[in-house]
Chains A and B, each alone.
Chain A
Amino acid sequence: MSHHKLEVKNLNFAYPDGHKAINGISFGIYHGESVGIVGANGAGKSTLLLMLMGVLFPSQGEVIIGDVRLTKKTLALIRQRLGMVFQNPDDQLFMTTVYDDAAFGPRNLGLDEKEVEDRVMKSLDMVGISHLKDRAPYKLSGGEKRAAAIATVLSMQPDILIMDEPTSSLDPKSRRKVMELLKSFEHTKIITSHDLDMVFEICERTIVLKEGKVAADGLTSEILSNEELMQSCCLEVPLALQGCPLCKAKKKNI
């Protein structure tokens, strides 16, 4: 299925204040892949995601989704294929009920109300919050808000899911729930995060960004375990790969 392909060619972007956030990035992501994008603060992760969604346009280079180049004209088409979950659910949930929020996207696609309801209920079911459908989003807990934000995107039935820090500011149990949820999706996934353990579990491929450039791109298991690379990019080897702190202490004692 070629339309699940996402290609980025020599992407450049500078903010109006002259700060060059993205500096010649190229990669391709294919059907069913789950890709983590990691990097230090200010490495360009969020900017890159906004460019994939056509919220920001590159000063140079191009984004190609399926066989369509992302331009202002193809924006509507491309945004039907890509769904993005923002880092802060409060930026995403603005309707008075969870249901209406999940219905916002499908209604914008001009679907009839029956189909909208189908899609909304299906997506709320998928994330396990159909019982919250009449609640006001701002009254939900952090984990519920995150699930609701994901549902609002799922209801648009995108081919590719893009997530900015899906596990940030969640308690361990909610984080685990969101991770299980992400694992269960068959979509092509692009996830940015500082939660390297999450990336390690969910993404088979990782792209490391450093100062707006791709510092590494390959198998997650190889990249995240490369201590030298991680340190040079202000990152750390995931805790899961670091060995037990207690045992290590014991070893030292011996």
Chain B
Amino acid sequence: MSSIGNSLYNLGHLDDLARKQTIIHKLHPFVKLIVTLVFLTMVASFGRYEIARLLPLLFYPVIIINLAELPIAPILKRILIVEPFVIGIGILNPLFEKQTFVLGGLTLSTGWITFLSIFIKSILTVFVVLLLVATTGMDKLAAALRMMKIPKLFILQLLLTYRYISVLLEEAQRMLRSYVLRSPLQKGVHIRDWGSFAGQLVLRTFDRAQRIYQAMCVRGFTGEYNTGEGMKLKIADILYLGGWMLFFAAVRLYDIPMLIGTLLTGVIK
């Protein structure tokens, strides 16, 4: 039960962060969305064995988290939530891949490299998406998606789902509480009650959805979700976009860790 309460709190926390007023928060949501999308494509574009070349990309989230003055712990915690799934996907690679390499006298499967690459990629991608939400906020993000000509139906779906996760969780929490209080001898929900429990939740959700829709219609809702006047692009936005695009292009075209390496060894020589 407490975990539901915690998730509720956590959900709201991301929204609170999005209301800060730092340089990053003030940037145009559209620009931030584009940079994030390009970043994601960048991460995905590197091959399975190019771990070293992924590393310079870490520069981006580190800069953003600092400029946006975001607390690191809650963001890292959220990234960790995804990791078990990622490990589940990648853990068999070392067993499946037949090729091997030698590291410090140990012969290892190349699967470890691909596993590590999946791991790093997942951290990078989840990290930047969380940063995007924590610096932009869902409603502005929706406006940015709208500017990208994503159909309004999808955006509406996204926004309402986001808003009502908390209401649904509260509903589930209330049901769970009343269940637990009346079944003191057992732990959790008994398997024979799962059906009616889930069914109840679905029915309540339908009812709630109906009422929300009615409340929206009454206030003149016709299917268009207006999030206010669109912001105008400023010079700072364009510089931000241009700067990161140059950085990403450099990371893609040049092997930066290798360059730094040769530079350093050159200096030492």
Question: Which A residues contact B (CB, under 8 angstroms)?
Answer: 50, 53, 55, 76, 79-80, 82-84, 86, 88, 90-92, 94-97, 100, 103-105, 107-109, 112-113, 116, 134, 136, 138-139, 152-153, 156
A80 touches B139 (CB 8 A): no
Interface 9-mer from B37-45, B114-122, B163-171, B232-240: B163-171
B217 touches A94 (CB 8 A): no
B214 touches A50 (CB 8 A): yes
In the complex, what's the smallest C-beta–C-beta distance from B145 to chain A, in angstroms?
A: 15
What is the chain A residue whose CB lies nearest that of B211?
A91
The reply on B138 being an interface residue by CB < 8 A is yes
What is the chain A residue whose CB lies nearest that of B139?
A96
In whole angstroms, how far apart are the Cα atoms of A35 and B6 in the complex? Answer: 44
What is the chain A residue whose CB lies nearest that of B140?
A96
The reply on B137 being an interface residue by CB < 8 A is yes
B219 touches A105 (CB 8 A): yes
0 or 1 for each of B218-233: is its CB under 8 Å from A? (1 = yes): 1111101011110000
Scoring A96, A109, A153 by chain B CB atoms within 10 A of each residue's CB, the highest score goes to A96
Q: Which residues of B contact A94 (CB under 8 A)?
A: 160, 163-164, 212, 215-216
5 closest cross-chain pairs (CB), A and B: A108-B220, A107-B226, A113-B229, A105-B219, A91-B211
B216 touches A136 (CB 8 A): no
In the complex, what's the smallest C-beta–C-beta distance from B50 to chain A, in angstroms?
A: 39
B226 touches A108 (CB 8 A): yes
A104 touches B15 (CB 8 A): no
> Number of residue pairs across A and B with beta carbons under 8 Å?
80
In the complex, what's the smallest C-beta–C-beta distance from A128 to chain B, in angstroms?
A: 21
B167 touches A90 (CB 8 A): yes
A138 touches B12 (CB 8 A): yes
In the complex, what's the smallest C-beta–C-beta distance from A31 to chain B, in angstroms?
A: 21
The reply on B177 being an interface residue by CB < 8 A is no
Knowing A76-B220, A96-B137, A156-B219, the reply to whether A86 touches B211 (Cβ < 8 A) is: yes
A96 touches B15 (CB 8 A): yes
Q: Which residues of B contact A76 (CB under 8 A)?
A: 220, 222
> Among A83, A88, A103, which residue has its beta carbon within 8 angstroms of that of B211?
A88
In whole angstroms, how far apart are the Cα atoms of A109 and B218 in the complex? Answer: 12
Scoring B211, B219, B227, B228 by chain A CB atoms within 10 A of each residue's CB, the highest score goes to B219
Knowing A91-B208, A107-B228, A108-B226, the reply to whether A156 touches B220 (Cβ < 8 A) is: yes
Knowing A96-B137, A103-B228, the reply to whether A108 touches B221 (Cβ < 8 A) is: yes
A104 touches B218 (CB 8 A): no
Knowing A91-B212, A96-B139, A136-B12, the reply to whether A104 touches B167 (Cβ < 8 A) is: no
